[in-house]
């Protein structure tokens, strides 16, 4: 299989369903950002974050491919088979957030991303997740996006925030409280 097709040399790309759109289309930005997020999750997944977190992130990577497929599908092409993204996927993130939160100190300040490189990478993934969510919401204002995509991205960013705190806490790394001037 050849990797290059030359069909995108004119600045367009094909959606699942066959329609061609400009590579700068918000739909392409949305699923491209999900792909970027998936790469960052892959970076975090193989760090020292604990077996349970690695397992959850393996599931997250799979779901992000599903999210990408849903975003890459031409609107109105309901006959195209895409994997399912279910409310249970979002609920799984919520359950893990609740589990991790049980061992964390109460959050009393805004915290700055960092503490060590793994915690910082998780925060980078969180920021990219928020961007993916904003793009999915923007796309939804133009063309339909399955609501579960938006729900999942929203909850995933929350999950990544709590995961960053959890990993730092597990490693004994103090959170860096934001102390505004003035």
Total number of domains in the chain: 1
- Position 57 in a domain: yes
Residue 8 forms part of a structural domain: no
111: left (phi over 0), alpha (psi -120 to 50) or beta: beta
C-alpha 37/C-alpha 128 separation (Å) is: 6
Query: Residue 28: inside a domain, yes or no?
Result: yes
Check residue 150 and give its pLDDT. Answer: 98
Residue 138 located in a structural domain: yes
**3 lies in a domain?**
no
On whether residue 1 sits in a domain, the answer given is no
Quick check: is 4 in a domain? no
Record the pTM.
0.93
Q: Say what the pLDDT of residue 2 is.
A: 83
Residue pair 120/161 in contact by the 8 Å Cβ criterion: no
What pLDDT was estimated at residue 97? 98
Please report the pLDDT score of residue 19 as a whole number.
Answer: 87
What CATH number has the domain bearing residue 120? Answer: 1.20.1200.10
* Six token digits for residue 14: 């094909």
Domain range for 149 is 21-74+82-102+115-177
Query: Quick one: 79 exposed, middle or buried, by C-beta within 10 A (0-12, 13-18, 19+)?
Result: exposed
Residue 167 in tokens: 């990993």
Averaged over successive runs of 10 residues, the pLDDT of the chain (182 residues) comes to 84 86 92 98 96 97 97 83 93 98 94 94 98 98 96 98 97 93 88
Q: Give the DSSP letter of residue 73.
A: B
């Amino acid at each position: 299989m050849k990797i290059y097709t030359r069909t995108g040399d004119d600045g367009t790309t094909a959606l699942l369903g066959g329609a061609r759109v400009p590579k700068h289309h918000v739909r392409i930005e949305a699923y491209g950002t999900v792909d970027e997020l998936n790469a960052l999750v892959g970076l975090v997944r193989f760090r020292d974050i604990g077996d349970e977190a690695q397992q959850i992130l393996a599931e997250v990577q799979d779901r992000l491919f599903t999210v990408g497929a849903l975003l890459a599908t031409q609107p109105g092409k309901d006959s195209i088979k895409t994997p399912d993204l279910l409310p249970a996927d979002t609920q799984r993130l919520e359950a893990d957030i609740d589990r991790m939160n049980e061992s964390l100190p109460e959050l009393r300040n805004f915290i700055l991303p960092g503490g060590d490189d793994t915690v910082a990478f998780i925060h980078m993934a969180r920021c990219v997740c928020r961007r993916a969510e904003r793009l999915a919401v923007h796309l939804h204002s133009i063309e339909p996006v399955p609501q579960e995509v938006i729900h999942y991205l929203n909850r995933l960013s929350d999950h990544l925030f709590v995961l960053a705190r959890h990993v730092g806490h597990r490693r004994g790394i103090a959170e860096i409280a934001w102390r505004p001037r003035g």
